Amino acid sequence: MRRLSRVIKVGNVSIGGNNPIIVQSMTNTDTRDVAATVRQILALEAAGCEIIRVAVIDTEAAAAIADIKSQINIPLIADIHFDHRLALRSIESGADGLRINPGNMKAERVKEVVTACQERKLPIRIGVNAGSLDHRLLEKYGHLCAEAMVESAMDNIKLLEDMGFNDIKISLKASSVLLTIAAYRLLASKVDYPLHVGITEAGTKDRALIKSAMGIGILLYEGIGDTIRVSLTADPVDEVWAGYEILRSLDLRNRGVELISCPSCGRCQFDLINTAEEVDRRTRHIEQPIKIAVMGCVVNGPGEAREADIGIAGGSGAGLLFKQGQVVRKIPEQDLIDELLKEIYQEVEKGGTGS
């Protein structure tokens, strides 16, 4: 049962309530390099990214937002640390929202930023991060814990609420999966603002996929979370792809290819791993939901993968193409991948593009 949160809008994207869980990412280009940043955002859009965040480290970066915005199609959030002037400048440049840690700014500076957001109806994400928690709170609780993170969030929420501002979403990220889960659960019991969920500093791709899938997955399974970012030390396009994989696994969104493939075992008589990897690589751009199977044996493969829309089962010298568990035809091993892809592209064309 999903936690019922209030709805906020980032540009034309609604977050919270019964809206779909929104997938977002952050550029890793130099924001001042408009061409590189736009190129990356367009690639992210193609992967399904629905909101993009950029780091604003100086006034030049804040100014670049106007140029970037004119060439992209999704809402843009300016990520600001400490300097309220960068927040104001980003708003002028047309940012659709801010991510700040209000505790890092003096109250009168925050007031200026909040007033500017109120005038343009821009939301603010309060981004609490375990690694940069106020020393006062660490001392109060004796160590980093969920209660300290939530107190930091509540202080920041109160600061904005006291200024009459409620266009808020909140994140409480840590690199620890258990700490992150505990913090979000506690906050979810206290406020009804939409929550931006993720694990931060989760590591290199393999590591971060595991931690993010666990942290985001466990929270979403409990109904907590309105928008997600998978943080990877890797190409941000992979973050968006992984976000949809997590959401599909919980039946919350359905975009692109689901690929089923058995672990290669001693029964397998063809190069299953490389075949599956190639099919994966050559179908990642597909937006329409489709379930593809790459199975290791012709005896059990078609039956075991009968839930797949289409698939192949490899064997020694030749394999089988099947649809919904029914064998369509036998194909020589060397043509197996190309024939499968031809059939997949045909299916996708028939179905139009969905998401």
CB of 6 to its own copies, least distance (A): 27
Round to whole Å and give the CA distance between 125 and 196: 8
Residue 254 within binding range of its own copies, rule CB under 8 A: no
> How far, in Å, CA of 108 to CA of 87, rounded?
14
Candidates 35, 131, 338, 351: give the one binding its own copies (CB under 8 A).
131
Q: Which residues pair with 10 in a beta bridge?
A: 13
Q: Give the DSSP letter of residue 195.
A: B
State the Cα–Cα distance between residues 36 and 288, nearest whole angstrom: 28
Closest distance to its own copies from the beta carbon of 161 (Å): 28
Residue 81: Cβ within 10 Å count: 16
Q: Does residue 152 touch its own copies according to CB under 8 A?
A: no
Cβ nearer to its own copies, comparing 99 with 169: 99
Identity at 249, one-letter amino acid code: S
Joined tokens for residue 235: 């190409």
- CA–CA gap between residue 308 and residue 316 (Å, rounded): 22
Nearer Cβ to its own copies (8/76): 76
Question: Could you say which of 31, 101, 156, 171 contacts its own copies (CB under 8 A)?
Answer: 31
Q: Which is nearer to its own copies, 41 or 114 (CB)?
A: 41
For the record, the structure tokens of 299 come out as 């005896």
SS3 call for 152 = helix
Minimum distance between the CB of residue 285 and its own copies, rounded to whole angstroms?
15
Per rule CB under 8 A, is residue 28 in the interface with its own copies?
yes
Question: What is the helix (H) or strand (E) element at residue 118, kind and residue range?
Answer: helix 107-120
Among 5, 90, 175, 227, binds its own copies (CB under 8 A): 175
Return the number of the residue (103 or 236) whose C-beta is nearest its own copies: 236
Residues, the chain: 355
Under rule CB under 8 A, residue 286 binds its own copies:
no
Smaller CB separation from its own copies, 266 or 352: 266
Match 């397998």 to its residue by tokens: 268
Q: Verify binding: residue 101, its own copies, rule CB under 8 A.
A: no
Residue 195: alpha-carbon gap to chain centroid: 13
Binding of its own copies by 90 (CB under 8 A): no
Interface with its own copies: number of residues (CB under 8 A): 78
Distances (CA, A) of 274 to 128, 288, 296, 337: 42, 24, 12, 10
223 close to 192: Cβ distance less than 8 angstroms: no
Residue 274, Cβ density class (10 Å: 0-12 exposed, 13-18 middle, ≥19 buried)? exposed
Contact region for its own copies (CB under 8 A) — 10-18, 49-57, 104-112, 343-351? 49-57
CB of 171 to its own copies, least distance (A): 14
Q: Which of residues 191-250 bind its own copies (CB under 8 A)?
A: 200-207, 209-211, 213-215, 217-218, 221, 231-236, 238-239, 242, 245-246, 249-250
- Determine if 327 is a binding residue for its own copies (CB under 8 A): no
Q: Is 66 in the site for its own copies (CB under 8 A)?
A: no
- Can you tell me which of 19, 59, 264, 324 binds its own copies, judged by CB under 8 A? 264
Residue 24 interacts with its own copies (CB under 8 A): yes or no: no
